[in-house]
Amino acid sequence: MKNILLTIEYDGTDFHGWQRQPGKRTVQGEIEKTLSKLLRQDITITATSRTDSGVHALGQRANVKGNFGIPTERIPLAANNMLAGDVRIKSAEEVELDFHARFDAVGKKYIYLIRNASYDLMQRNFCYHIEKELDFQSMKEAVKYLVGAHDFKSFMAAGGKVPESTVRTIYSANLTVEPINEGRKIIFEVRGNGFLYNMVRIIVGTLVDIGLGKIPSSDMKDIIESCNRSRAGHTAPPQGLYLSEIYFDHVELQRSLRGDE
């Protein structure tokens, strides 16, 4: 018996999200179908995060248990030859039998891309287009309030499974800017021990509303404390969101946090 941890990259555009659903093309469904053929048995995989339709992943993780004839290191290439171009297994490694991709995660990193420039059709599935100029400094001010352990109920969408607690710890939250043709790209990077349903997208929507002058940046503190979804901003669209990295131990997480400095 082996337990194999996969690192998976996908372009979420043409998927109905991660989770297997009858009659719909999902990332879990495509990978399970492919691995079932490759490994000649019914395969079920367990991912760290269930991403929504249109959301991308650079480093989704999932584990799969079973007795497989094929050497672990051969799985990525063999599976990728059978998978469509919009999903790819980047690596496969053997882990302890009791390892669980969801329960053993201590942190995750998401990236959200905002294109603050004229509309670019080629980028439509990969960022949030904001043509009006955003006040980057105000947005950056507001980001500071996010770090730490807070009740993030104001940033939770209805529709997900309601969790026992809505307290989450944000380890880092950074906003950076890069010049591009006729404008700039604003990149939000956030690491936390977990995220509520649509939390990153509602944070980004709130930051955009701050950047547009609809909400003062100093309100961010009150919005968090209010625990009231209606105080926060809109939900930014899924196509700007990337599940970037998953951390399974604190050493790995600390190393990643230091990389920011």
Asked if 61 is part of the footprint of a copy of itself (rule: CB under 8 A), the reply reads: no
Kindly tell me which of 97 and 122 has the beta carbon lying closer to a copy of itself. 122
Please select the residue that binds a copy of itself; options are 20, 50, 56, 61, rule is CB under 8 A. 56
Return the residues of window 78-97 that contact a copy of itself according to CB under 8 A: 85-88
Number of amino acids touching a copy of itself (CB under 8 A): 12
User: Among the candidate windows 7-15, 137-145, 159-167, 210-218, which touches a copy of itself by CB under 8 A?
Assistant: 7-15
Return the residues of window 109-138 that contact a copy of itself according to CB under 8 A: 121-122, 124, 126
52 is catalytic: yes
Kindly tell me which of 129 and 150 has the beta carbon lying closer to a copy of itself. 129
Exactly one of 52, 104, 209, 219 is catalytic; name it: 52
Kindly tell me which of 12 and 211 has the beta carbon lying closer to a copy of itself. 12
Please answer whether residues 203 and 172 qualify as being in contact, where contact means their C-beta atoms are separated by less than 8 angstroms.
no
Residues in contact with a copy of itself by the rule CB under 8 A: 9-11, 56, 85-88, 121-122, 124, 126
Which amino acids are annotated catalytic? 52
